């Protein structure tokens, strides 16, 4: 068994470059860490380029059957991973997403925090939403922090990363979807007027909310009521509250 010992190994340099957006874009690859995440990747349809194992890690045979396996010395594995105490297994994948289907869709318009982005995708999956649209202004879905926050949901829920968000939303609108823009000056969310069986919940940038152009084409402008002295909710918390309520009180499946 050959163990890669050098940080100067060209493969290691490539893998390390995947921590940055630039490296991911250049090589069209991303890295996932940990037993559970790698298992989910192997069970998915995502193309897997390589499995990386720390020299002391003994994987189950099923974990390493789909791609070339590389064994890395401890310090090399640590350098490739983003977490401080990696579990000893990682995988290199080509970025792709599952297709968006169904009639309960979350749209993210300029979300900047990777933790928020990933958490919202995870919550959409749990709430029973059928897809997520991501505007080009959002942070990178394939960053280590955003991936971790998804808890693997990107392998389960359809995601579209759009170059032309406004056109995409307009297409859904023409196909009969209600477009619900969540914004602080909207009407009370729990008193919303009838929405169609197909809908998109649009959540905006943490500081500035849903962009002006998107607000203009929305069919509903809604605000979660806030009591006390709180001026706002965390974006991922607010999205979770709205998604669960929509799934309870709409006919979307």
Q: At what angle do helices 114-127 and 235-248 cross, to 10 degrees?
A: 10
According to DSSP, the residues that pair with 180 across neighbouring strands are: 201, 220
Contact 70, 50 (CB under 8 A): yes
Q: How far apart are CA 19 and CA 3, in angstroms?
A: 22
Q: Strands, E, within 135-248: which ranges?
A: 158-161, 178-188, 199-204, 220-223
Q: Which of 243, 240, 23, 242 is nearest to 116 (CA)?
A: 240
Pick 116 or 211: Cβ nearer its own copies: 116
Pick 200 or 238: Cβ nearer its own copies: 238
Binding piece for its own copies, criterion CB under 8 A, among 69-77, 139-147, 165-173, 224-232 = 224-232
Q: Which of 39, 119, 183, 198 binds its own copies (CB under 8 A)?
A: 119
Site for its own copies in 11-40 (CB under 8 A): 40
Pick 1 or 229: Cβ nearer its own copies: 229
Site for its own copies in 153-212 (CB under 8 A): 153, 155-157, 190
Where do we find the tokens 């209600």?
178
Binding piece for its own copies, criterion CB under 8 A, among 49-57, 131-139, 173-181, 231-239 = 231-239
Interface with its own copies by CB under 8 A: which residues?
Answer: 40, 119, 122-123, 125-128, 149, 151-153, 155-157, 190, 224, 226-234, 236-238, 240-241, 244-245, 248
């Amino acid at each position: 068994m050959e163990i890669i010992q050098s940080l100067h190994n060209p493969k290691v340099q490539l893998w390390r470059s995947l921590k940055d957006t630039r490296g991911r874009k250049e090589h069209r690859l991303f890295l996932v860490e940990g037993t559970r995440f790698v298992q989910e990747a192997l069970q998915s349809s995502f193309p897997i380029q390589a499995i990386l194992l720390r020299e002391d890690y003994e994987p189950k045979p099923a974990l390493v059957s789909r791609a070339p396996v590389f064994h890395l010395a401890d310090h090399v594995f640590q350098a490739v991973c983003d977490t401080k105490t990696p579990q000893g297994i990682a995988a290199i994948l080509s970025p792709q997403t599952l297709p968006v289907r169904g009639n309960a869709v979350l749209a993210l318009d300029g979300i900047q925090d990777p933790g928020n982005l990933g958490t919202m995708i995870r919550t959409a999956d749990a709430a029973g939403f059928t897809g997520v649209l991501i505007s080009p202004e959002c942070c990178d879905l394939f960053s280590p922090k955003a991936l971790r926050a998804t808890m693997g949901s990107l392998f389960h829920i359809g995601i579209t990363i759009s170059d032309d968000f406004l056109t995409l939303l307009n297409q859904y609108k023409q196909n009969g979807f209600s477009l619900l823009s969540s914004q602080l000056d909207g009407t009370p969310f729990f008193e919303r007027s009838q929405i169609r069986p197909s809908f998109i919940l649009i959540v905006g940038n943490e500081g500035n909310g849903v962009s002006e152009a998107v607000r203009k084409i929305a069919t509903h402008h809604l605000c979660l009521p806030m009591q006390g002295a709180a001026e706002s909710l965390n974006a991922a918390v607010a999205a979770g509250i709205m998604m669960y309520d929509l799934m309870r009180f709409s006919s979307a499946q």
